[in-house]
Structure 1
Amino acid sequence: MTIDELLSPDQVAVGVRASGKGVILAELARRAAQALGWDVAAIRSALERREALGSTGVGQGIALPHARLDALRRPFGCLIRLRDAVAFDAVDERPVDLVFLLLLPADAQGSHLNALACVSRRMRDPEAAAAMREARDADALYAVVTDARRTAR
């Protein structure tokens, strides 16, 4: 599975304002609900339940909130770059500014399970993360995250 199979250009945003982890999760749930035509509360609840198990702030200013949803048929992604980094209870205690939401079908198997690993590898690559932080707009950010060979700015 590749990131461009999980993420569409219209699900990427730069300069998103948020004051904390809860606001980030609420914003991601709102964006996902709008794109999927779902109830925002169900998505937010699933994200909060997963986050209660342990922070998805993986360090280096990156968070990978994710959840499994019963009615979802294919993985869904959303990437935001925050205007200002905010606390997210990350493992390294650093605030986050790059956040990739991943929603998976509840019965995910095979390539669906590889989706989180694929996203994690790309987001945690220091060169890619630097390019994502320098991307001038959402289109450039999408280009960087979906193509390991490209460093669009």
Structure 2
Amino acid sequence: MTETTLTIQSILAPGLTLCRVALSSKKRALEYIAEQVHQSAEDLSEAQIFNNLVARERLGSTGIGQGIAIPHCRLEGCDKVVGVLITLEEGVAFDAIDNQPVDLLFALIVPKEATSEHLELLSQLAEKFNDHNFCTELRQCTDNAALYNRMTGTP
């Protein structure tokens, strides 16, 4: 594998950018992420993605505060990083560090051996989500295309 710097634009597909989804819980959000990734990459196991996301959450919530979560996991048999961006109709309890409900999720599914890329992407996401105005703009999007364009900076 060649060393290339991954960007949010390179890992997020329009089909995995989902605006104002109605989900009732953290568990349901993780199931939904697994379903969506499996639909876009059928060779990846929905059950394995879900189980790995849950296992990662058991180590500590990926809810980083201010209504934002970055659930992520490594996955055996995955050959490229997959990003999933979801805004929720209503926030769900996510055991976030500030105990606030989460309504903005960016999930990362990464190949088992992709450690540096994984950390680089988490850093990029944390930087973007640190911008309160940017997060407000994401939450104001009313359709998948607008959400994708806002996240990737495409006009």
Unaligned runs of 5+ in 1: none
Query: Distance in 1 between the 2:120 and 2:114 partners?
Result: 10
Identity of aligned residues (%): 38
Query: With structure 1 as the length reference, what TM-score do the two structures score?
Result: 0.92
Give 4+ residue runs of structure 1 displaced > 2 Å after superposition.
Answer: 109-113
Is 1:19 the counterpart of 2:1? The answer is no
Instruction: Report the residue type matching 1:74 in the other structure.
Output: K
Is 1:33 the counterpart of 2:33? The answer is no
Q: What's the CA shift string for 1:81-123, capped at 9, x where partnerless? A: 1011111110000001001110111101444431111122112
Equivalent residues of 1:62, 1:124 under 8 A apart: no
Q: Tell me what 1:50 maps to.
A: 56
Query: Distance in 1 between the 2:61 and 2:115 partners?
Result: 23
Instruction: Report the residue type matching 1:32 in the other structure.
Output: V
Equivalent residues of 2:20, 2:142 under 8 A apart: no
Q: Look up the SS of the partner of 1:10 in the other structure.
A: strand
Equivalent residues of 1:60, 1:124 under 8 A apart: no
Q: Look up the SS of the partner of 2:114 in the other structure.
A: coil
Equivalent residues of 1:47, 1:65 under 8 A apart: yes
Q: What's the CA shift string for 1:54-87, capped at 9, x where partnerless? A: 0000001001000001211111001111011111
Is 1:95 the counterpart of 2:101? The answer is yes
Residue number among 127, 130, 136 corresponding to 1:121 in the alignment? 127
Q: Tell me what 1:76 maps to.
A: 82
Equivalent residues of 1:67, 1:104 under 8 A apart: yes
Q: Tell me what 2:3 maps to.
A: none
- How many residue pairs get aligned? The number is 149
Q: Look up the SS of the partner of 2:125 in the other structure.
A: helix
Q: Look up the SS of the partner of 1:89 in the other structure.
A: coil
Query: Distance in 2 between the 1:25 and 1:128 partners?
Result: 24
Query: Distance in 2 between the 1:143 and 1:3 partners?
Result: 12
Let me know the Cα RMSD of the aligned residues: 1.4
Equivalent residues of 1:7, 1:78 under 8 A apart: yes
Q: What's the CA shift string for 1:2-23, capped at 9, x where partnerless? A: 2111101111111211111101
Query: Distance in 2 between the 1:140 and 1:9 partners?
Result: 10
